[in-house]
Amino acid sequence: MKNSRITILFIVACVAFMFSFLLNVSLGSVSIYPDEILEGLITGSWVKTSHAQIILNYRLPKAVVALLAGVGLSLSGLQMQTFFRNPLAGPFVLGISSGAGLGVALLMLAGSAFGISALSGGLSAWAIVGAGTLGAGLVMILVSLVAWRIQDSMTLLIVGLMFGSAVSAIVSVLSYFSGADALKLFTVWSMGSLGGLAWPQVVVLGTVVLVGIFPVILSVKSFNAMLLGERYAKSMGVNPTFLRWMMILSTGLLAGSITAFCGPIAFIGIAVPHLARIMWRTSDHRILFPASALLGAILLLLCDVAGQLPGSAQMLPINAVTSLVGAPIVIGLVLRRNFSKEF
């Protein structure tokens, strides 16, 4: 009976995922019906060439990015929460988003702060991605060096948070001294965006995310053991140090690449694992990982739809939408069920 409940939930989630993907692609400043999209994708003949243009070069890559980001952030959030045994942990507790932020801030703001206009030619997407990757990678390497020396996972958590704060402080200093245009540009980046990426970038992001999922699959069993805490896990033959490296590698790749490509996307990473736990009513990671991945993708696709403000040409930043839409959902679920006991 219990297993069938889990299966039904997965089927429902898969259907919901397909629905939200189609919805995401079809809604926007111009609404295009799903049947037209499906027909166009399958047969290759479109009713209007402009529609083909919109769907193939703009909306599809954006939907795929939303899918990848939703999956990646949820998976890294779940890993962090279980590893640190902390319901407030998320993909960014080890300072990854701050690191990416620093990289991008250096690119966008440093020129302006030092009185040189680096922005005159405009910034290519690749430059932003590169800067974000470098920044996230740098912080991950620093955290790893510390992780090499310490045994205690709580210490690692604190060190990660401290790195994050220190790096954010550098970004603040840069912002303080930079010009209005550059500052606006950076602020918009820090609100996150799923669009603006072309297919080559989407392919790179997709590859990195796939690679980042591998360590998760390898360590599913160990994460289940970690539910009882590090000492119990050890007594069951799990090597917490190895698991920690797997986790740093995985979240570094997932959260790092997503933040570099899309900016820091708040909320999904922390909230989705909780939603998965509440809905599937289990703590088994063999169920929680796929469930979180599905839910994350659905939620981010739907948030993107809401952010499009269908029918209008205006758009809201994705970060604002994820929090505005997501926070009430989570508060509702948390109040309805006993949240701390579910963890």
Residue 29: which H helix or E strand, with range? none
**Binding-site string for another protein from residue 269 to residue 308, where x marks contact by CB under 8 A and - marks none:** --------x---xxxx-x----------------------
Distance between CA atoms of residues 176 and 336, nearest Å: 43
170: Cα within 13 Å, side-chain hemisphere: 17
Q: Which of 19, 58, 177, 343 binds another protein (CB under 8 A)?
A: 343
> Is residue 325 within 8 Å of 306, Cβ to Cβ?
yes
Picking from 58, 53, 67, the residue whose alpha carbon sits closest to that of residue 17 is 67
In angstroms, what is the minimal distance from the CB of 306 to another protein? 30
- 221 binds another protein per the rule CB under 8 A: yes
**53 or 235: whose CB is closer to another protein?**
235
Count of residues touching another protein (by CB under 8 A) = 28
- 79 binds another protein per the rule CB under 8 A: no
- 3 binds another protein per the rule CB under 8 A: no
End-to-end alpha carbon distance in the chain = 23
> Is residue 55 within 8 Å of 35, Cβ to Cβ?
no
For tokens 């508060």, name the residue. 331
- 2 binds another protein per the rule CB under 8 A: yes
In angstroms, what is the minimal distance from the CB of 337 to another protein? 10
- 336 binds another protein per the rule CB under 8 A: no
Q: Which of residues 128-147 bind another protein (CB under 8 A)?
A: none
In angstroms, what is the minimal distance from the CB of 35 to another protein? 40
Distance between CA atoms of residues 165 and 312, nearest Å: 38
Tokens of 224: 């289940």
Give the binding site for another protein (CB under 8 A).
2, 218, 220-221, 224-225, 227-229, 231-232, 234-239, 277, 281-284, 286, 338, 340-343
